[in-house]
Amino acid sequence: MKWQYQQATDAVSQNRKNLNDFEALVKANSRDMDTAWIVLCGALVFFMQAGFAMLEAGIVHPKNVTNILFKNMIDASIAAIAFWLLGYGFAFGSDSGGFIGKCGSACYFGLKDVYNGAGDGMGSSDGWEKWFFQWAFAGAAATIVAGAVCERTKLEAYFIYSVFLSTFMYPVIVHWVWGYGWLSAWGAYPDSNGVARPIFNKDTRSNGLIDFAGSGVVHMVGGFCGLVGAIIAGARRGRFGPDGSVNTLFDGNNTLQALGVFILWFGWYGFNCGSTLMISGGAANVAGKVAVNMTISAASAAITATFLAKALQGHYNISMGLNGVLAGLVGITANCAVVDPWMAFLIGFVAALILYGGHYLLLALRIDDPCDASVVHGFCGMWGIWATGIFCTDKNVQYAGYPNANEACGSGEQFGVQVVGSLVIAAWTIGMSVMLFLFIDKTIGIRVSAEVEEAGLDISEHGVAPSYEQQPQVPSRLCPRVWTFLQVH
């Protein structure tokens, strides 16, 4: 009997051992799924660089196309080096007073604490893919500005701006909102058990700022920085007549614009869906919901902008429609995980109105933002943050995986938090950019000379021939031979 008992006990503990192995395996699989998801989504987000490049190349005058392409290419590269050496450490290193990351128990300068085997090898990742995903975001934030200051700024000025943004200005906001900063939902103030608490109330009744995929962190930063740059650089020559009239300098290349917007829309599925940061444990469901909401918001904004333009301008204005898509996407980015589809529809609708109003507001203020980057990304980004407070429900916030269970949305507190958060982000961005661009302007100068601007930046900075506009007309490309064949047979 005793022997039998021993046998049974052995079998049971063997089972438990197998069970533990199995548990480890399943956890490792979950980790691997999550990592792969982030790598793939990160690649999609990177592809948005191609979208921005095409969109902006389709808007600027042909004499400046090479210049804008160059800016788009170089800011992704600068962001990679800057974010590797410093930015990522400022954003996600050990918290220092809720303000910035530093080198403490976690040190990410030069990716120091990301190394082979940094995770425990079973349930947690080594963290390589997180840098990759965050870099793609930093690159997107940097590249937004190129559209606002194009056709008149010095390339060297853009280098300086680009280094500063991805080294310091952007990472600090990331730390505040997505790291353990003072605005973060994961919070800077641990309670006695070490559980993080958001700054507002410092207990679980408050959420901190909810910015799921970066309406504020990425788009507002890029958009407001672009706005400041556009103001300090001043309008392009001839954009505004002495009598206050507005001149269209170039009609734009709609094919490139449309291509750019489609690529951006495509990459945005990586941007927003990937911001679940994992797919295991039900996060994949959230990713699905995010995809639905952002599709509906983009569609709603595109349709609204289209018919608004038709009603007010008398034409189906494709630039407005394309920018409508982007406005809808920017607007839903903060809240894609915490709203329902019908709310997404409304968010897109309002985003299109803001786009329309913002476009004419800038013109009325004589601010020259050729790509409307500050409207699409800045204003609609701010709307996205506010819309989160207006439309979020506490149930949805739980579903999206936010850590504290409370009724901040229902009680309206969340809206207050969102407004405060958006103002803080705007203040930081505007303050830093004013300093930055004024510094550049006083030292090397932000703007190219009038002759260079007139001749186009491609010649002066890139040494390439002027644009195609002197090309001879070619009436038809019909090849007689083929058609002769067809007409004979």
Partner 1 sequence: MRYGLCCWLSCKLTIDAGSLVFFMQAGFAMLEAGVVNSRNVINILYKNIMDASIGCVCFWLVGYGFAYGTTAGGFIGTDNFAISSIYNGAGEGGSDGWEGFFFQFAFAGTAATIVSGSVAERFKFEAYLVYSGVCTAFIYPVIVHWVWGSGFLSAWGARPDADGNARPLLSGTSTSNGVIDFAGSGVVHLVGGVSGLMGAILVGPRKGRFDSDGKPKAQRPHNTTLMALGTTILWFGWYGFNCGSTLALSGGAANVAGKVAVTTTISAAAGCLMATIISRFLEGTFDIGLALNGILAALVGITANCSVVNPWMAFLIGIISAWIYYGASKLLLKLRIDDPLDAFPIHGACGFWGLLATGIFCTDANVQYAAYPNVNDACGRGEQFAVQLIGGLVIVAWASVMSGLTFLVMKFVVGLRVSSEIEEAGLDISEHGIGAYANELTKVFPSPVSDEVTKVQVSYE
Residues within window 63-102 making contact with a copy of itself, judged by CB under 8 A: 65-66, 69-70, 72-74, 76-81, 84
- Return the structure tokens found at 68: 């804008």
Q: List Cα–Cα distances, 43 to 143, 268, 276, in angstroms.
A: 16, 11, 15
Contact between 1 and a copy of itself by CB under 8 A: the answer reads yes
The distance of closest approach from Cβ of residue 478 to partner 1 in the complex, given in angstroms and rounded to an integer, is 9
Tell me how far apart the alpha carbons of residues 409 and 207 are, in angstroms, rounded to a whole number.
Answer: 9
Site for a copy of itself in 108-147 (CB under 8 A): 110-111, 114-117, 119, 121, 125-132, 135
**Cα torsion through 457, 460, 464, 468, rounded to 10:** 40
Q: Which amino acid is at 84?
A: W
Residues 380-399 that bind a copy of itself (CB under 8 A): 395-396, 399
If one asks whether residue 47 binds a copy of itself (CB under 8 A), the answer comes out as yes
Can you tell me the distance from the alpha carbon of 160 to that of 241, in angstroms, rounded to the nearest whole number?
Answer: 31
Q: Which two tokens stand for residue 281?
A: 């444990």
258 is a contact residue toward partner 1 (CB under 8 A): yes
Least distance in Å: CB of 467 to partner 1? 6
Site for partner 1 in 11-30 (CB under 8 A): 22, 25-26, 28-30
> Which residues from 458-487 bind partner 1, rule CB under 8 A?
458, 461-474, 477, 479, 481-482
Phi and psi at 138, nearest 5°, equal -60, -40
Show contacts with a copy of itself in window 446-485 (CB under 8 A): 461-465, 467-471, 474-479, 481-483, 485
* Residue 463 C-beta: closest distance to partner 1, Å: 4
Side-chain half-sphere of 441: how many Cα atoms within 13 Å? 15
Partner in contact with 165, chosen from a copy of itself, partner 1, none, beta carbon below 5 to 8 Å by kind = none
Residue with smaller CB distance to a copy of itself, 411 or 484: 484
User: Which of partner 1, a copy of itself, none sits in contact with 9, Cβ below 5 to 8 A by type?
Assistant: a copy of itself
364 near a copy of itself (CB under 8 A) = yes
Considering the rule CB under 8 A, would residue 46 count as an interface residue with a copy of itself? yes
Q: Which residue is associated with the tokens 């505007």?
A: 430
State which of positions 68-107 bind partner 1 (CB under 8 A).
69-70, 72-74, 76-81, 84
| Candidate ranges 175-183, 216-224, 273-281, 401-409; the one touching a copy of itself (CB under 8 A) | 273-281
| Cβ 342 to partner 1 shortest distance, Å | 7
444 near a copy of itself, judged by CB under 8 A: no
Q: Of the two residues 199 and 320, which places its CB atom closer to partner 1 in the complex? A: 320
- If one asks whether residue 402 binds a copy of itself (CB under 8 A), the answer comes out as no
Give the 3-state DSSP-derived string for 160-223, with helices as H, strands as E and coil as C: HHHHHHHHHHHHHHHHHHCCCCCCCCCCCCCCCCCCCCCCCCCCCCCCCCCCCCCHHHHHHHHH
Question: Does 25 help bind a copy of itself (rule: CB under 8 A)?
Answer: yes
Which 159-198 residues touch a copy of itself, going by CB under 8 A?
none
Interacting residues with a copy of itself between 343 and 362 (CB under 8 A): 345, 360
Q: Which of residues 35-54 bind partner 1 (CB under 8 A)?
A: 35-40, 42-44, 46-47, 49-50, 53-54
User: How far is 211 from 90, CA to CA, in rounded Å?
Assistant: 19
Least Å distance, CB 419 to a copy of itself, is: 26
Report the residue number, 99 or 266, with the smaller CB distance to a copy of itself: 266
Under the binding rule (CB under 8 A), the answer on residue 212 touching a copy of itself is no
**Is 245 among the residues that bind a copy of itself (CB under 8 A)?**
yes
- Determine, following the binding rule CB under 8 A, whether residue 259 of this chain makes contact with a copy of itself: yes
Hey, what amino acid is at 387? A
The residue (of 220 and 344) whose beta carbon lies closer to a copy of itself is 344
Question: In the window 286-345, what residues touch partner 1 (CB under 8 A)?
Answer: 287-289, 291-292, 295-296, 298-300, 302-303, 306, 313-318, 321-322, 325, 340-342, 345
CB 298 within 8 A of CB 265: yes
Residue 251 within binding range of partner 1, rule CB under 8 A:
yes
Of 167-175, 206-214, 305-313, 380-388, the window that binds a copy of itself (rule: CB under 8 A) is 305-313
